[in-house]
Structure formats: structure tokens, C-alpha cells
Structure 1
């Protein structure tokens, strides 16, 4: 998957993203519970987009939030929501070994994992951003089937098929101790501890 194609795709959608990406608060809270986002932890928000999760994180009073996205225009939209000094936004490819970010206690990829490319390469790269004992969570606020069907129709050139939660857990298990593996019609969660 070509990173420039992915960047351009999301740059083109950034201005209107929030008008068609309406989060379900109850599902997001459930995901953040599974991801163990809690008071005083450091959070790395991977493919943060327009910063949809910022208010949900802040309600949990984290120490810091480092939000990373490949798309400059998504980052620009996120900056508009960045009113808290604990939030730092970085426009970069998080999978690039030269990307400099602090290590975090919690790393969350929300509604974006298929756009990171090869699942094994992505998990391996994301693990290097965790402190010992840190938790990586890949989560989606809908079913794998609906994600894969939509991507086939509208985003096939900028996404890989989302594997089953159990298949992704198998990849996680090469690097992390598995904590949660769950998917149904409304949520998809895989998490593991370093």
C-alpha cells in the first residue's frame, strides 16, 4: 500500500470528516475501558484523524496524549480541537522507524488499523512505542464485516482487509501478552500488554 496514496485520500476527506464520522459514545467508552485508558496514563493515539477521541480521553484525565496521523489535513482539523496542553499532535508515519515519539503506557488504534498496511508489520512497529507493561489496543466501533465491505467499495486502494480478531491476536501474541480478543456486530477489540 502506497503511503502517499493513503495520505492524499485522507487529506481529501479531512474537511468534511466530522460530518460523516459520528461516534457512538457508549461504544467509545467501552473501547477505552478495554484499552485501560485511565487517570495519569500516557496515551499514544495512532491515526488520530480529526481528534474524535480527544474529549473522551480528557474525561479520563490522562497525563499526556500524543496524537499521530499521516494526513496533514486531518492533523490540521485535530489542531482545532486541541485546547488542552496535554495533547501533542504529530503529522508523521508512525510506522516509519525514524518517526520520533515518546513511548506511551497506552497505544490505541481506533477505526484505522486497515490503513496501516500489513498487519504483522504494523503491530511490530507499534510495539516499539510502548513502555514495558504498556498496552496496545486495536479497536473498531463496528463489525469487521461492515468495515471490510465498505473498504472494498470505497477505500480498497488505501486499506488492507481487517483480519478476524483471533487472527490479529495471533499476530499480537508474537510480541505481547494477550488481554482482550472480542468482536461482534458493534465492536472489534484486540489488546495486548508489553
Structure 2
């Protein structure tokens, strides 16, 4: 049986050739999130480092960026691309294994949320790693329909990894996590939470 980790390990070498990200959409999403200079940011499912340059531009040298991915090969590629970024730390692990507590100003799940096996558990864990007043963003630079249509046509297990509707997150909102913004249009899918 092929697992999610195996799928991304097998795709790592050709990932940057076949997966293209619209820079303007990424900038627009990060503008919505509002990352400030000096922020401590966790990039979840960083892959080959798609967001690293954009995050670095916003946090500056005073900020800290942690990039985590379950695929060792993806992390190796990201490290080789950004070895000169002194304030970026790459971690090869499942995000659910990270032990940070009340640590991050911002946590970003860009193009990764459908791949979490237990989405509720992961969301709770991410919340525990956020500082009070910190922000969690789940974002894609495509619509939910486009993401789900794409995944349904890929190999197992990715064909079972679907992005839930905005109402799913409204139901998961709690006393600790409030939805600030949500967008699901033809251009992008973004849900931004604040830890309260």
C-alpha cells in the first residue's frame, strides 16, 4: 500500500517542474494573513520550500521561519535551495510530532490541509503551538472545487484527500480559535483563525 509520505517522496525530484504556484496569488494570500517583521512562523507541509522566499521577505532577518514536511526528499531539496537563509530551520517530521507549545506567531498550511489524516486532531495540535493572539492560516491558491477535482484524478491515496468546505471550520471554531476571515472563490481558498 502506498502512503502519503511515499507519494511525496516519489514526487520530490520532479515537484518543482510539475507544480506551479502563482506568485501574485501567494502574495495576496500572505497579505491577508498579515505576517509582520520579526515574526516567528511555522510553514507546515513546506514541500520544496515554495513559501520560504515570500516569508523571508515579510519576517526579515529578525524573524524565525520553521519549515516542516513529512517527506525527507522534499526537505532535502528545500534545504539545498535555501541554505543561505540563516533564520530558516527545516524539520523532516510529521507536524503532529512537533513539541512546540505557545511558540509561533503564525502557522501556515499552504496547499497541505487535505493531506492530514485526522484533520481535527491536527488542527488542535497546531492551535497548541500558537501563541495567544497568534494566527493560523489554511490556504490554497485555487478554489476548493479545483483542488478536489485535481486530487480525485491522482493516484491513491491522494485521490481520497479532499479539502473540506468553510462550514467544516466554522463547526471546529472553539473558545480558543476564532475564524477571522474565510474565502472560497474561483481564485483561492483561505481560512484565517486567531488564537484567543
If the length of structure 1 is used for normalisation, what is the TM-score?
Answer: 0.91
Cα distance in 2 for residues equivalent to 1:45 and 1:93 = 12
Indicate the RMSD between aligned Cα atoms, in angstroms: 1.7
Cα distance in 2 for residues equivalent to 1:29 and 1:85 = 22
Offset at residue 101 of structure 1 (A): 4.0
C-alpha contact (below 8 Å) 1:169/1:190 kept by paired residues: no
Q: In the TM superposition, what whole-angstrom CA distance separates every residue of 1:144-176 from its partner, at most 9, and x where no partner exists?
A: 111111111104414532111232233234640
Please identify, of 19-28 and 45-54, the stretch whose mean Cα deviation from structure 2 is larger: 19-28
Match of 2:75 in 1: 75
Cα distance in 2 for residues equivalent to 1:85 and 1:133 = 26
Cα distance in 1 for residues equivalent to 2:155 and 2:179 = 30
Match of 1:93 in 2: 94
Q: In the TM superposition, what whole-angstrom CA distance separates every residue of 1:94-119 from its partner, at most 9, and x where no partner exists?
A: 113xx234721000000110011232
Match of 1:180 in 2: 181
Cα distance in 2 for residues equivalent to 1:166 and 1:18 = 32
Cα distance in 2 for residues equivalent to 1:9 and 1:163 = 21
Cα distance in 1 for residues equivalent to 2:176 and 2:119 = 13
1:193 aligns with 2:194: yes
Where 2:96 maps in the other structure, the secondary structure is: coil
Cα distance in 2 for residues equivalent to 1:129 and 1:155 = 32
Offset at residue 22 of structure 1 (A): 1.4
Quick one: which of 47, 58, 61 aligns to 1:60? 58
Structure 2 segments unaligned to the other structure (5+ residues): none
1:116 aligns with 2:116: yes
Offset at residue 40 of structure 1 (A): 1.1
Offset at residue 33 of structure 1 (A): 1.4
Equivalent pairs, count:
190
Cα distance in 1 for residues equivalent to 2:95 and 2:181 = 23
C-alpha contact (below 8 Å) 1:123/1:172 kept by paired residues: no
Q: In the TM superposition, what whole-angstrom CA distance separates every residue of 1:44-94 from its partner, at most 9, and x where no partner exists?
A: 000000001111111113411000000000000110122211100000011
Cα distance in 2 for residues equivalent to 1:155 and 1:121 = 25
Cα distance in 2 for residues equivalent to 1:60 and 1:154 = 34
Cα distance in 2 for residues equivalent to 1:37 and 1:14 = 28
Structure 1 segments unaligned to the other structure (5+ residues): none
Cα distance in 1 for residues equivalent to 2:156 and 2:18 = 19
1:139 aligns with 2:139: yes
Where 1:39 maps in the other structure, the secondary structure is: coil
